[in-house]
């Protein structure tokens, strides 16, 4: 669903950029409470994994493909604030290095793919977690549902932006029906990937899954005929650190394998937004990407004629750059938290998380709209 340059006009792109800046600013502050010495490296890995899986377009229907957006997955694994940063890092790397998603549309893409998916998914996930029985299956089921809904929600957000600032004259009803319809199908793939990944991490290190904290049922012992919670027996620090390193290494190898090898077998059909834009005719406003001459444009290495080698090498480079950039951001956030004395631990409740990001986004939109309206009148 990467929006290229030219689909949305300049005033609305500026407004979306203001929303994105506000959301990222709030997320940088909120991520201090979510990240600690264990989860900060995981956040960088999550960003790299999202980059890798986004290269794996899967067929949907009628010559259309889809790919992971990643907001739900990141929010459940590392927290909603950190998730916005994870997806934003991925979008920035894709736009600058691979000419995927317009540079003037970067604010639109962050707003739609990072902010909307994260806020919607995490709100649904936490709501379901409160009513479902505590346990791994419930966490996985909540993750599936949250991811499923987040994708058509992002499609609806794009449709709203197009209604306000679309550069071509296409009936809004047709755009909305096509966008939301195809992205409901894509959402099924997103939900499956999210649930499988969350379930796999919970199986080996449930303590590292932000969304699973406090949700898994404790071990029970029968004392005097009654079941009571067993006393906590934390693993030795050395064992926990070793397990963490193994998980990180396994995740990195998986990301490199997906991007470097499996991506060659990804569907070549246009994704949901590309297909709808072509069918409905609003791709006529698309502009050439400013980074179209990048050595890695279109996920291939320039001057390497072997398609398999070119695409695989580009994927490996992308994973490497993303994990380094993401880890640097999250390391800096963690250092800032340590420096200002912020205590590590779970972030605030889901309601506070969603309210804070949404309030900032709303404020930013209002401010940006007040700036862009005179330009429109002029």
List pLDDT tens digits, range 46-91.
999 999 999 999 999 889 999 999 999 999 999 999 999 999 999 9
Name which of 219-228, 285-294, 368-377 the model is least confident about. Answer: 368-377
Q: What is the token pair recorded at 268?
A: 């070549």
Please check whether residue 70 lies inside any domain of the structure.
Answer: yes
Domain that holds residue 318: 13-218+242-356
Please check whether residue 171 lies inside any domain of the structure.
Answer: yes
Please check whether residue 210 lies inside any domain of the structure.
Answer: yes
Please check whether residue 377 lies inside any domain of the structure.
Answer: no
Please check whether residue 263 lies inside any domain of the structure.
Answer: yes
Please check whether residue 366 lies inside any domain of the structure.
Answer: no
pLDDT at 125: 97
pLDDT at 368: 41
Contact between residue 334 and residue 39 where contact means Cβ atoms under 8 Å apart: no
* CATH number of the domain bearing residue 304: 1.10.1760.20
Please check whether residue 7 lies inside any domain of the structure.
Answer: no
Mean pLDDT, rounded, for 211-239 = 60
Please check whether residue 161 lies inside any domain of the structure.
Answer: yes
Q: Which helix (H) or strand (E) holds 33?
A: helix 10-34
The string over 32-41, giving b where at least 16 C-beta atoms fall within 10 Å of a residue's C-beta and e elsewhere, is bbbbeebbbb
If one counts the domains in the chain, the total is: 1
pLDDT at 373: 38
pLDDT band at residue 346, thresholds of 50, 70 and 90?
A: very low
Taking residue 279's Cβ as centre, other Cβ atoms within 10 Å add up to 16
Which residues have C-beta within 8 Å of that of residue 59, sequence separation ≥ 6? Answer: 65, 267, 269
Look-up of token digits 């695989």? 312
Q: What is the pLDDT of residues 278-323, one digit of tens each?
A: 999 888 889 999 899 999 999 999 999 999 999 999 999 999 999 9
What DSSP string describes 214-243? TTSPPPEEEETTEEEEPPP-PPPHHHHHHH
Name the residue with higher pLDDT: 110 or 202.
Answer: 110
What single-letter DSSP state applies at residue 66?
Answer: E
Looking from the CA of 59 toward its CB, the CA atoms found within 13 Å total 6
pLDDT at 357: 45
Q: What is the token pair recorded at 289?
A: 């990407």
CA-closest candidate to residue 299, choices 286, 318, 275, 322: 318
Contact between residue 63 and residue 270 where contact means Cβ atoms under 8 Å apart: yes
Q: What is the pLDDT of residues 122-166, one digit of tens each?
A: 999 999 999 998 888 999 999 999 999 999 999 999 999 999 999
pLDDT at 366: 42
């Amino acid at each position: 669903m990467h929006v290229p340059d030219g689909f949305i006009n300049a005033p609305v792109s500026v407004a979306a950029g203001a929303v994105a800046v506000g959301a990222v600013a709030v997320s940088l502050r909120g991520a201090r409470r979510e990240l600690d010495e264990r989860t900060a490296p995981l956040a960088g890995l999550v960003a790299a994994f999202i980059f890798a899986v986004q290269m794996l377009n899967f067929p949907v229907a009628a010559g259309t493909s889809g790919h992971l957006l990643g907001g739900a997955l990141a929010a459940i694994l590392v927290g909603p604030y950190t998730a916005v940063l994870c997806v934003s890092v991925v979008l920035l790397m894709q736009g600058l290095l691979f000419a995927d998603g317009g540079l003037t549309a970067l604010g639109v893409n962050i707003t739609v793919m990072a902010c909307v998916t994260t806020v919607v998914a995490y709100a649904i996930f936490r709501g379901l977690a409160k009513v479902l029985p505590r346990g791994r299956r419930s966490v996985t089921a909540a993750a599936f549902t949250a991811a499923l809904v987040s994708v058509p929600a992002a499609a609806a957000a794009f449709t709203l932006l197009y209604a306000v600032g679309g550069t071509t004259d296409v009936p809004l009803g047709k755009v909305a029906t096509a966008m939301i319809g195809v992205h409901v199908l894509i959402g099924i793939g997103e939900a499956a990937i999210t649930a499988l990944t969350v379930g796999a991490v919970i199986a080996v290190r449930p303590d590292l899954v932000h969304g699973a904290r406090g949700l898994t049922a404790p071990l029970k012992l029968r004392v005097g005929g009654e079941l009571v919670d067993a006393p906590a027996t934390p693993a030795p620090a050395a064992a926990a650190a070793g397990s963490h390193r193994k998980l990180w290494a396994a995740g990195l190898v998986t990301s490199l394998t997906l991007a470097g090898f499996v991506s060659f077998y990804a569907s070549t059909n246009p994704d949901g937004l590309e297909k709808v834009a072509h069918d409905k005719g609003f791709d006529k406003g698309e502009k050439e990407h400013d980074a179209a001459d990048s050595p890695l444009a279109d996920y291939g290495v320039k001057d390497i004629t072997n398609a398999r080698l070119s695409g695989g090498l580009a994927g490996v480079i992308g994973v490497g750059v993303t994990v380094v950039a993401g880890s640097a951001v999250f390391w800096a956030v963690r250092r800032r938290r340590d420096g200002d004395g912020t205590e590590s631990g779970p972030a605030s409740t889901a309601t506070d998380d969603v309210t804070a990001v949404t309030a900032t986004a709303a404020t930013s939109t209002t401010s940006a709209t007040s700036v862009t309206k005179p330009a429109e009148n002029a």
